[in-house]
Structures are given as C-alpha cells and as structure tokens.
Structure 1
Amino acid sequence: MNNSSVDASRFALVAHDARKDEIVEWVGLQQSRLSGVQIFSTGTTGSRIIKAFPELNVTCLKSGPLGGDQQIGAMICEEKLDALIFFVDPLSPMPHDVDVKALTRLATVYNLPMACSRSTADLIVNGLLDEDASTRA
C-alpha cells in the first residue's frame, strides 16, 4: 500500500464504454469487500456504480476523455491510490488511447497494482484487502 497511515484502501475504477456493464457487475460481486474502500471513478463509470450501489463510497471525477483519466493520473503521481482497476476494451478503437497508455505508464512507474480484466481485478482486491486485514489485526 502506498500510505499505511490511511485506514481505507483507495481504488480507482475506470471502464471503457463496452465494458461499463462488466465493471458494474464486478463491483456487485465484490460489493462486500469494496464496502470499506474509498472508490474514485471517472464520470459515467462512477455514476453507474453509484446508481447500482449507493451505499459504496464513490467519488466521481470528470469523464475520462474530458480529464478524468488525467485526474486519476495525478492521484497516482501523488500516491493517493492503492490500486487502479481499468476495464479496457481492446477490441474497439479509442480516440483517447493516449490516456490509457499514460495511466498504464504511471501505474508502472509508481509500482501501483493495475488490473485490466476481471480476473486480475479479483487478485488485486483479494491481495490488498487481505493485506489490510492482516496488517490491522
């Protein structure tokens, strides 16, 4: 974790349009584990998560193409995140593909766990939240 003095984990959740339904479904499957997580999300993705799960702690940033990706990038640089979950659509052309590459680069530079699929997102949630529980015990 980037900041051990913070009690709640801080995750960024982002999804391309073709994968927004999938990330909302994934949040539903992980809802009990994510209940203690501070979630930051780009506009539409965050709005959909809030609508489906109003009890979760979700902060909506701007839409990805309108600066939300850069807001998340700044949070990575400032070490204000513990993980990035970005459900990427590899089969559709992305007009803001450079933003995806920038987030991937920043996550790598700052050694931030990043998942681009459901299976790796599960591993990150299980690993980080289990780590949180064991360090607080």
Structure 2
Amino acid sequence: MNIALIAHDKRKDTLVNFIKNNEQFFSEQTLFSTGTTGLRVMENTNLQITRFQSGPLGGDQEVGALVAKGQMDAIFFFRDPLTSQPHEPDVNALLRLCDVYHIPVATNTESANAILYYLKNHKK
C-alpha cells in the first residue's frame, strides 16, 4: 500500500511515536512524506520514505497529486488544529481530494489507530 505521512510542527513528535509503535506494519508499505516529517520519521526508525517538499513549499500538493492519480491508499496527517497554518489552503485542498477519492485520512492518534486497524484487516 502507498501511505503518506504528514504532521504539523507541534504534532511531529506524536506522529513519530505512532509510527515507531507500529514500525513493523509501516515497514511493509511504500511510504511518502512531506520533507521534515519524513526526515524525522527516518531519524527515529529504520523506515525508508520518499520525501517531497515541506508542506508549505508544496509537499501537501505533491501528496494530493498522488491522491488524484489514484496512487495513494491512506494518509496519516497529524494536524495542529490550534495553530494557524500559512498553507491552510493547501491542507484543505489535500483533505478535499481525499474526500473526493475516498482516501482514509487520520488526523490524530485515535483516528490513526482506527485506520491502522482497518488497513491491517482489509488489505488491497
């Protein structure tokens, strides 16, 4: 499965910990990420990730392009709902594409656990 990993700055540690706790599953997938998030995950795990630009520099849109092409199976996007993001239109566009193409998106640990359970039990 193709899975994207994205996290706002204040949620990067949470995503890294989630990925570390589920590293075996993620090691069996093809992973993509925005720049800094991917680097942080790779520094803290043994995972290899195709990294795009940082989110504000177009990384969210690069992930969105894969969604629109039917090349993404799930996205783990740990968002910070309490901090204004300068690239909020890009974030909204990515989430809209996920809705259009029926791609599951986890925005916090609880929804990530639910999607992870689904992915483990409903492999494509």
Q: Which category describes the TM-score, using the shorter chain as reference length?
A: over 0.9
The C-alpha deviation readout for 1:92-114, integer Å capped at 9, x for no partner, is 11111111110110000001111
Aligned pair 1:34/2:26, yes or no? yes
Deviation above 4 Å: which 4+ runs of structure 1? none
The aligned counterpart of 2:79 is 88
Q: Name the TM-score, length of structure 2 as normaliser.
A: 0.96
| Structure 2 residue 19 is the aligned partner of structure 1 residue 12 | no
Query: What is the TM-score of this pair, normalised by structure 1?
Result: 0.87
* Pairing 1:64-75 to 2, within 5 Å after superposition: 64-75=55-66
Structure 1: gaps (5+ residues) = 1-8
- What root-mean-square deviation, in Å, do the aligned CA atoms of Structure 1 and Structure 2 show? 1.0
Unaligned runs of 5+ residues in structure 2 are none
* Displacement after TM superposition at 1:131 (Å): 1.4
User: Offset of 1:57 from its aligned partner?
Assistant: 3.0
State which of 15, 23, 47 in structure 1 corresponds to 2:15.
Answer: 23
Distance 1:44 1:20 in 2: 9
One of 80, 87, 110 as aligned partner of 1:119 = 110
Give the share of equivalent positions with the same residue, in percent.
42
For the 8 Å contact 1:40–1:46, the answer to whether it is kept is yes
Tell me, in whole angstroms, the C-alpha distance in 2 between the residues paired with 1:122 and 1:33. 12
Count of residues paired in the alignment: 124
- Tell me if 1:131 matches 2:91: no
